[in-house]
Amino acid sequence: MSAQADAAAGTGDAKKVWTTLITNTAYLTGLLTLDHSLKKQQSAYPLVALYTDTFPPEGHAALDARGIPKKHVNYLLPKLHKDFTNDPRFYDCWSKLTPFSLVEYDRVVQLDSDMLVLRNMDELMDLALDPPSLGGTGDKVFAAGPACVCNPAKKPHYPKDWVPENCAFTSQHHDPDAAQKEGASPVFGLGIPNGGLQVVNPSNEVYQLILDQLANDTSVDYDFADQSLLGDVFRGRWVTLPYVYNALRTLRWKGVHDKIWRDDEVKNMHYLLSPKPWDEKEGEQTEVISEWWWAVNLERKADEKQRGIDDGF
């Protein structure tokens, strides 16, 4: 089966899919556990792995062994080189914009591979967004959770305006109950979406707007790659989701946004920053949320062993 054909075969007639970008094997264990978690929560929709030319043969073999559909996508980069030496992961992040181009699907929900689905969230497949015919001119171009711009890890190279006062989540501290069900204003503070989860109605016209911006000299100012671009090009014209759909691990930290965080409300855990759960040893996790991931990962591995799959991932 060709690389391009196997996604169609694996998803059957699905017109709505989850996708996740994979460029190397460093995140492959995360992807496999993400896929298992979606199936564990009985999602009606398949996960499609979007792979680039850099994804190696052993990675393909791992996906094929588990029947995870895959689709080749181009590696996106802006015209002008942006130095991400301090955050090399952002070189890959431009390619997370490719779901906007997947017009063979009616709805794509892009997930980062360092996520874990804890509750069914298939309702995102029916969330009201602008139809592709609007070509990116409407006020609901896509949906996402806000970026946390508090810089809780105190990274010195982050912009000076990344402070709690400019963070969308800070605006919700006064009403934690509402924060479980409603997103903050898309224009509060810096107005930047987090790129970890994006709900998209693919559109050639919207994708062309993105490509045009990647070819624009201003792209060199985007410190956070894909999410900076989306926040700029579609300023205030996207739907903000409540944190439960993209529960950034730092929100749970004491003094960050623990005022709104509730463990039992989280639908999708996002293990952004380091260490990733799979880089920690079993039983030596530094956070409770990593124990959640390990429980599902061990369950996945036991299930795969019964099916004769034991390739180290």
Distance, in Å, from the CA atom of 53 to the CA atom of 60, rounded to the nearest integer, reads 11
- Main-chain phi, psi angles of 116, to 5 degrees: -140, 120
Distance, in Å, from the CA atom of 150 to the CA atom of 164, rounded to the nearest integer, reads 4
Is it the case that residue 191 has pLDDT exceeding 70? yes
| Residue 112 pLDDT grade (very low, low, confident, very high; cuts 50, 70, 90) | very high
| Residue 2 pLDDT grade (very low, low, confident, very high; cuts 50, 70, 90) | very low
Strands 47-51 and 16-22: parallel
Note if the pTM is more than 0.85. yes
Write the DSSP string, 30-79.
HHHHHHHHHHHTT-SS-EEEEE-TT--HHHHHHHHHTT--EEE------S
pLDDT in tens, 260-292: 999 999 999 999 999 999 999 888 888 999 999
Mean pLDDT of 88-111: 90
Distance, in Å, from the CA atom of 122 to the CA atom of 144, rounded to the nearest integer, reads 15
Is it the case that residue 91 has pLDDT exceeding 90? no
Distance, in Å, from the CA atom of 26 to the CA atom of 274, rounded to the nearest integer, reads 13
Residue extents of the structural domains in the chain: 6-306
Q: What angle do CA 109, 6, 46 make, to 5 degrees?
A: 30
Mean pLDDT of 154-182: 96
At residue 179, the pLDDT reads 98
At residue 93, the pLDDT reads 86
Start-to-end Cα distance in the chain: 23
What strands, in cross-sheet order, belong to the sheet with 16-22?
Answer: 70-72, 47-51, 16-22, 107-111, 193-200, 142-146, 239-240
Distance, in Å, from the CA atom of 265 to the CA atom of 247, rounded to the nearest integer, reads 10
At residue 183, the pLDDT reads 98
| Residue 77 pLDDT grade (very low, low, confident, very high; cuts 50, 70, 90) | confident
**293 or 10, which is more confident?**
293
Choose the CATH number for 6-306 among 3.30.460.90, 3.40.50.720, 3.90.550.10, 3.90.1580.10: 3.90.550.10
